[in-house]
Amino acid sequence: MRILLTGAAGFIGGHVARALEAAGHDVTGLDVRTGGDVRSAADLDLALPGVEAVVHQAAKVGLGVDVADLPDYASVNVYGTAELLAAMARHGTGRLVLASSMVVYGEGAYDCARHGRVRPGPRTVADLDRGRFEPRCPDCAAPLAPAMIAEDAPADPRNAYATTKLAQEHLAAGWARETGGVAVALRYHNVYGPGMPRDTPYSGVAAIFRSALEAGRAPRVFEDGGQRRDFVHVGDISEANVAALAGGRPGRLVAYNIASGHPHTVGEMAAALAAAYGGPEPVVTGEYRLGDVRHVTAAPDLAAKELGFQARTPFAEGMREFAAAPLG
């Protein structure tokens, strides 16, 4: 299959390119680092003729710094996706695999002993300042038990990146309805692996910790380290993209959680990475970022059922590899 891969020179994009080529696909890359921009109709019109599917990885990622980042997030993630979809319609390209994210959920799923499944609101500054990191039931304020979130959970984005990733899904759904195309959104959970970008305000937590270790500094774990996440290896993410090319349904967008199904706390991840690297040990700081959520872990069953995808890299093995791997 002839494929246009956006964001091909990025961390995930580079791994996806190699996986697509290994599966026998003919891949053309488009990346702002190499002179191609998804926001440019002219660049897209040069790249799309003859293309059968687009794998859209290009995005501004991470939590960012502050509201000054909003225009860039909207420009790259929303406007760029809109230009891409319009160009796909012009050229008759009928299949899209979209890199989405678990951040569209906001907080994950929670169960209250009294009220069952609930969705807590954003945590308050007052609670966070007091070290009260766990969300409470919105109906009775009782403690909650985190649960696995499924694709049919309501979206509740809580920062600029999350909002723009959800906007990408909505735009892709509209494109699919109007053109009869097939759109598959892969909601990545916490991706890590070789070539991950170094520590910046837009990096994932695994890169931040790995960069600290390389510099001889202790990883600084925010809150109390009890935040639950699903850490999924970039090699598994790449295989999910290959599998997604055969999935989906005409005329609609279908979203899938791309996760291992075996959550760990951020503190556990920092400890495993530091141990594999040889120290120093992590330091729990009690600091927080207001846009962060406490727990978000996913049920990957739908991807297994409909795409035949299951993550294969065990957590401990992946962390050992990542501790020794070069960063981007």
> What amino acid is encoded at 191 in this protein?
V
Average pLDDT over residues 149-170: 94
Four-way CATH pick for 2-106+149-194+230-263+297-315: 3.40.50.11030, 3.40.50.720, 3.40.190.10, 3.40.50.1970:
3.40.50.720
Q: What is the pLDDT of residue 292?
A: 86
Kindly tell me if the per-residue pLDDT of 227 is higher than 70: yes
Report how far residue 134's alpha carbon sits from residue 131's, in angstroms, rounded to the nearest whole number. 9
Q: What is the pLDDT of residue 201?
A: 62
Confidence of residue 9 (pLDDT cuts 50, 70, 90): very high
Give me the chain's average pLDDT, please: 95
Tokens of 115: 């009220």
Confidence of residue 198 (pLDDT cuts 50, 70, 90): confident
Report how far residue 158's alpha carbon sits from residue 179's, in angstroms, rounded to the nearest whole number. 31
Q: What is the pLDDT of residue 170?
A: 98
Contact 205, 213 (CB under 8 A): no
Average pLDDT over residues 152-162: 91
Average pLDDT over residues 285-314: 94
Domain ranges of the chain: 2-106+149-194+230-263+297-315, 109-146
Kindly tell me if the per-residue pLDDT of 67 is higher than 90: no
Confidence of residue 202 (pLDDT cuts 50, 70, 90): low
Q: Using CA of residue 82, residue 85, residue 89, residue 90, what is the dihedral sign?
A: positive
- Answering whether pTM is above 0.85, one says yes
